Amino acid sequence: MAISDELKRLVAQMPDPDSRGMYTTDIDKEKIEKAVAEIAGGGKEHVLGLIEMLGEPGTDEDVKPHYALHCVVNYALVAGDEKLRKDFCDAMASQLDNGDLIPCNRAYLCQELQWAGRDEACPALGKVLLNEDLTEPAALALAAIGGECAASPLRAAAPKAAGKCRLSVIDALAALADPRSAATFQEAMKDDDREVRLAAGSGLAKLGDASAINLLLKAADCEPGWERIQQTKHCLVLAEQLAAAGKKDLAEKIYSHLRETRTDPSEKYVRDLAEAALS
């Protein structure tokens, strides 16, 4: 689409960086807010125009539309205008698969959806979860949006995702403590990638999933090192969750195991806190 002269004029109202490349001089709040309100008045078309104006990160070409896009998206939140917010987010979501945009700028759209997106943004974010350039920002956006609409595309991506994408997806599901992902986490505990196993352990612990007790205890009994430290933490979190849910006998099972297995002097602090929890 063509970028209108009106939009170009309004974007030019954004501040010029100072000699250090910063926004630290001549920042006129009223002037910026007036121009932003006018851009917002142009609705979805103006947002699409701003996206088209984005350039390589940090360049002269990029500075003003980059800032203007964020200000316009936030304008909808400040104004509390739900229709405007949704229109703007729909416009950004529609461009996530636009191959004419450089990956940095598609990641920037994910970032803006992380800022202001809601359920309407989730399907489009889900579609780029298997894209290596976008999996991280898309997963971050979905984790921020939260809820079933965010979890659903993550769950759908999990069986197909590999490498970096798999880690992002499992980690985001763990961040959401998605109650429908317990089986996915249990499966991921067998992954070859240590970080995927740790993400899965975190998810199971947050869920307070009693059926995961043996799995987590076994994982935490691995060789001394980072994984043992982290999975032990997950066991403790699970025990706390179970105790808070009134399942004290199950929590005691975890604490008893830790008390009996953390016999090396370097793990005395774990044994001691298990002992304290049992006393």
Partner 1 sequence: MKKANRGVTRRRFLQSTAAGVAAATIVPRNVLGQGETPPSEEFGGALIGCGGRGGGTFGCLGPGVRRLASCDVKYKDRCDNQTFYVDFRRVLERKDIDVVAIATHPGWHALISIAAMEAGKDVVCEKPMCRFIAEGRAVAEAEKRFGRVFQIEAKGGYRANKVRKIFESGLLENCDSVYIQRGGKKVKEWSGMVKYRVEDVPANLDWDLYCGPAPLRPYHRHRFGGTHRGYWDYEGGGLADMAHHALHAPAYQFGRDLTAPVEITPHAPPAHPEACGLWGWCELKYADGFTVVLDSGEWGEPYGRLEPKHTSEGDLLNMLSEDDRKKLDAMPDPEPLPMFPEAIRTRRPTGSNAERSQRVATIYHLANVAFRCGRPLKFDPDTEQIVGDEEANRLVNQPMRAPWRL
171 touching partner 1, by CB under 8 A: yes
Question: C-beta of 2: minimal distance to partner 1 in Å?
Answer: 26
Q: Does 208 sit near partner 1 (CB under 8 A)?
A: no
Segment near partner 1 (CB under 8 A); pick from 3-11, 18-26, 177-185, 211-219: 18-26
We find the least distance from the C-beta atom of residue 198 to partner 1, in angstroms, to be 7
Give residue 255's Cα distance to chain centre.
32
Q: Which is nearer to partner 1, 5 or 83 (CB)?
A: 83
Cβ(204)–Cβ(216) below 8 Å: yes
Spatial separation of the C-alpha atoms in residues 104 and 75, rounded to whole Å:
23
Contact 151, 123 (CB under 8 A): no
Question: Is 33 an interacting residue with respect to partner 1 (CB under 8 A)?
Answer: yes
| CA–CA gap between residue 13 and residue 72 (Å, rounded) | 13
- Our CB check for partner 1 shows the closer of 183 and 229 to be 229
User: Quick one: CA torsion of 103, 104, 108, 110, rounded to 10 degrees?
Assistant: 30
CB of 84 closer than 8 Å to CB of 76: yes
- According to CB under 8 A, which one of 20, 99, 100, 246 is a site residue for partner 1? 20
Torsion angle, CA of 42/101/154/173, rounded to 10 degrees? -90
Of the candidate residues 71, 158, 212, 254, the single one contacting partner 1 (CB under 8 A): 71
DSSP code at position 15: P
> Distance (Å, rounded) from C-alpha 123 to C-alpha 11?
30
User: Which residue lies nearer to partner 1 by CB, 2 or 18?
Assistant: 18
The answer to whether 165 touches 135, Cβ cutoff 8 Å, is yes
- Tell me the window of 2-10, 41-49, 51-59, 153-161 that interacts with partner 1 (CB under 8 A): 51-59
Position among 224, 244, 245, 260 found at the interface with partner 1 (CB under 8 A): 224
Q: Residue from 47, 50, 67, 207 that binds partner 1 (CB under 8 A)?
A: 67
Please report how close the Cβ of residue 168 comes to partner 1 at its closest, in angstroms: 5
Which residues ranging from 109 to 168 are in contact with partner 1 (CB under 8 A)? 111-112, 114-116, 118, 136-137, 139-140, 143-144, 167-168
